Structure formats: C-alpha cells, structure tokens
Amino acid sequence: MRRTDLVAVSLLGWGVGLPALAGPMIELYRSDDPQLRLGSVTFEGGKTLELSVGIGSAAFRRADAPDGVFVTLSDRGPNFPCGEAKEIAGVDGEKLCAGIKGGRIYAQPDYSPTIYRIRVEEGGFRVLQAVPITDREGRPVTGMPNPLTMATTETPVDARGRKLEPRAAAIDAEGIVELSDGTFWIGEENATSILHVAADGKVIRRLVPAGTEGDFAGAGYPVEGKLPAILAKRQLNRGIESMAVSPDERFLWFVVQNPLANPDAKAYQAARNTRLFRYDRQEDRLVGEYVYELTPMAEFKGEESKAQSTARISELLALDADRLLLVDRTERTTKIVLIDTRGATDILGSKWDDPAAAPSLEQVALAEAGIVPVGKKLVLDSSAHPELPSKIEGMAFFADGYLMLINDDDFGIDGRRTVIARVRGLDLR
C-alpha cells in the first residue's frame, strides 16, 4: 500500500445532494500490491521492461458493494506496434518484425484478460480477487487477435519477432459492469463484441456483428451475430471500449470507441459521429442506436492540430435510465461529459446501418441529415488538473456519490503505473 495524495483543485460546480467542501479535492491512490507485478521481459539487444498488471481498462461498483470496493478489468496484455519498438524496447522494430505489415508485439502472448476486485482505502488500494476470463471448459482465453476475415486485423509477434497465431476465443476486454446475480457484461474492442461472463470468469456467450460468427469457430463458447453487421467496419483497435447498465439492470449501454471506417479509413480519420447502443436484456435485443459527436480536436488544449481520430471514447457510466457519463479523451487529456439520450434520434435499423448508404453516417452533417445527437455537457476537463493521470479508462461511483477514475497504465511498458482518483464536486445535474 502507498500513501494517499490530497490535491486541492478547481472543479466545475457542485454535485446534487453532496456535502459542501471547504475546497473541492481530488484524492489520488496508488498501490505496491505484489499482485500487480507482472515480471520482466527482455528484448535481445534492447531493454528489459519491468511490467505491471494494467487493471484500469474499466471500472464498476455495484450499489450493494462495500464502499471502496470495485471491479476493474485488464485488457489483452502488454503489447505495442512494431513501429514503436525502438522507443519502447530499444530495438529496431522493422528488423524484429521482419517487415510484417500490421505487426504488433505481444510481450506476454499467453496473458489472460482478467477481472479484478479491488479495495480503495486510506493509504492506497489493493487487490482482493483476480478472476481470469476463460472458455466454458475453464481454459483461460488470451488477448491475441481473432482470425478475422470480415474486419481488419493485425499480425501478432512475440518479443523475439516470431509470428504468433490468432485465436478464436481471444478477447480484448475494455468495459465492464457487474450485475446483482454476480455475472458480468464486458465490452470488447477487437472484434468488436460484447460478452456475458459468469461470476467464475467463464464466457456464457459472445455477441458479434451479424455475418462474422464464422470467424470465431472453435472459440469454446457460444457466439451469436446479434450486433449490427456494419460494426465489422470498425477501425482497427477502435471497437467497443465501454459498458454501462441502467440502475434497474434491464438495459446495457455501449458505444463504439470511434466513428466507423465507413466507407473507408479516410472517413474514420475525419469523422466525429459515433454510435451509442442500448440493449434490452429482458428482450435479448438491441432497442436503440444514437449518435454521439466526439469532441472536436480544437477543444483539446495543445492538440488542436492533430487528426480528429486522435479523440476516442473509453468509458460509460449510467446515472439513470437516460443519462450517462462518458469519457471522451486523447492519450493526454480526458474530458468527462454528461450525455442525455432524451430527444436524440434513434437510428437503429435505419439506412444509417446499411453499409451501402452514401454518404455514410460518418460523413454527413447531422443537422442536414435530420439527426439529433445525444445532448452533452462537459463536467470535467483534465487539462485543468495535471495531477490526474493520463489515459483514464475506468469510471465508477464511490458509495457517497463521488467519482472514481482509474487509468490504463498499458502494463507499465512506458513506466506508468495505475493511479486511482477520487473526484469531489462535479455538477451531475
């Protein structure tokens, strides 16, 4: 355990019903729990990386959980593009990857995405439980790419540059909710997909874009094509990175991290229109699709000249039946936005779900197309609070209603470590 840092900050307004403070505060929590150590990997002729377990790809707290106890999630394990090998590992990526196009280095290819139960308390945080995600036979899944034929994919290699095989059961876990029955729903970035997972980590079923089911043959668990086929056009590594559940647990919410590459990557790079979905658990089907407009890069301080695709969505948290908090971020800056779906246009099953539509949803001006996006209000901009960690991907509530944020430290490949923030004083009206 490590000490808690208390930092005075200036936040935006006051939360409804929350106690007034002498001055708004952000509390930072760190940990030296040995369960967060992943070991080291050495690159021949390069660096030795001391890896940590990246537990901050998502967060959730059930209303009946003890205060300070959350579930969090790791993603596919320590990895980086071959093009970044020199900076990260001190080796020539082109040589290591032997010219493999779309190559990505997996430093620990057998790592299994894992659900963590943690406790945040005075002095830091610690791991209470780790639940690896497995197939129905209890075999741990990995974070390797799937053998996709209907969507773009990448070629995995290990730390010695040896080509690795994709795996049908593998997932890139990025969003999580825990239901009162102890099961989990997980948002998955690579395929893109959502999964229902038992309390012991076994995958109950996986929902993928219609028409792609064959790419998951032999996964060791049921795969159903219940998501719109157009989601197979997600840009590589920009699939579903979030998951939320309504307070009554009937509806799941998830959002595509970025606009689709629809009709192509050029459209994705410039687009701001991305898709937010509502799934009815009782009826076992999608019942809503709405448009969220990503924050324009002109509003990201110091990153104004970057491509619009730099911004992406990493987390959702339901406030009530219609309103959610959403993380709209770059690698440097996090904007927490309150969104409201009331009055937004439901485009589910419309021409905008047809890959042949021209121009596509990603290319149109919403007003001209007669589409009303979800309402949005900024409630926190981390550029005004440099004490907050970068790459925030998890968000939940403490029992007192204050916000919990956690970062994805990318398994420590660049020296970062997991930090949890407790944020007081946000206006969530």
Q: Which amino acid is at 274?
A: T
Q: Please report the pLDDT score of residue 9 as a whole number.
A: 38
| Residue whose tokens read 């946000």 | 426
* pLDDT classification of 174: cutoffs 50, 70, 90: very high
What range defines the domain where residue 185 resides?
A: 4-423
Kindly state the helix (H) or strand (E) to which residue 321 belongs, with its residue range: none
**Cα–Cα distance for residue pair 376/326, rounded to 1 Å:** 9
3-state helix, strand, coil in the chain (%, to 5): 10, 35, 50
Would you say residue 385 lies in a domain? yes
Would you say residue 376 lies in a domain? yes
Q: Please report the pLDDT score of residue 227 as a whole number.
A: 98
**Cα–Cα distance for residue pair 134/115, rounded to 1 Å:** 11
**pLDDT > 90? residue 12:** no
Q: Is the peptide bond before 263 cis (omega within 30 degrees of 0)?
A: yes
- Mean pLDDT across the stretch 162-179? 97
DSSP state of 100: -
Q: Please report the pLDDT score of residue 99 as a whole number.
A: 78
**Cα–Cα distance for residue pair 408/64, rounded to 1 Å:** 26
- Structure confidence by residue, pLDDT tens digits, 217-258: 999 999 999 999 999 999 999 999 999 999 999 999 999 999
**Cα–Cα distance for residue pair 68/398, rounded to 1 Å:** 6
342-347 — which CB contacts under 8 Å span 24+ positions?
342/375, 343/372, 343/375, 344/290, 344/291, 344/372, 344/373, 344/374, 344/375, 345/290, 345/291, 345/370, 345/371, 345/372, 345/373, 346/288, 346/289, 346/290, 347/289, 347/290, 347/291, 347/371
Q: Please report the pLDDT score of residue 180 as a whole number.
A: 98
Would you say residue 275 lies in a domain? yes
Q: Please report the pLDDT score of residue 25 as a whole number.
A: 82
Assign residue 36 the CATH number of its domain.
Answer: 2.130.10
* pLDDT classification of 4: cutoffs 50, 70, 90: low
Q: Please report the pLDDT score of residue 8 as a whole number.
A: 40
Q: Please report the pLDDT score of residue 19 as a whole number.
A: 42
pLDDT above 90 covers what percent of the chain?
A: 92
- Mean pLDDT across the stretch 181-210? 98
Would you say residue 428 lies in a domain? no
Q: What is the mean pLDDT of the chain?
A: 94
Would you say residue 340 lies in a domain? yes
- Structure confidence by residue, pLDDT tens digits, 23-72: 348 999 999 999 999 999 999 999 999 999 999 999 999 999 999 999 99
Q: Please report the pLDDT score of residue 5 as a whole number.
A: 60
Q: Are 331 and 320 in contact (CB under 8 A)?
A: no
- Structure confidence by residue, pLDDT tens digits, 347-388: 999 999 999 999 999 999 999 999 999 999 999 999 999 999
Would you say residue 334 lies in a domain? yes
Would you say residue 162 lies in a domain? yes
**Cβ-count burial 386-400 (b if 16+ within 10 Å, e if not):** eebbbbbbbbbbbee
DSSP state of 269: H
**Cα–Cα distance for residue pair 231/215, rounded to 1 Å:** 14
Domain count for the chain, please give it: 1
**pLDDT > 90? residue 187:** yes
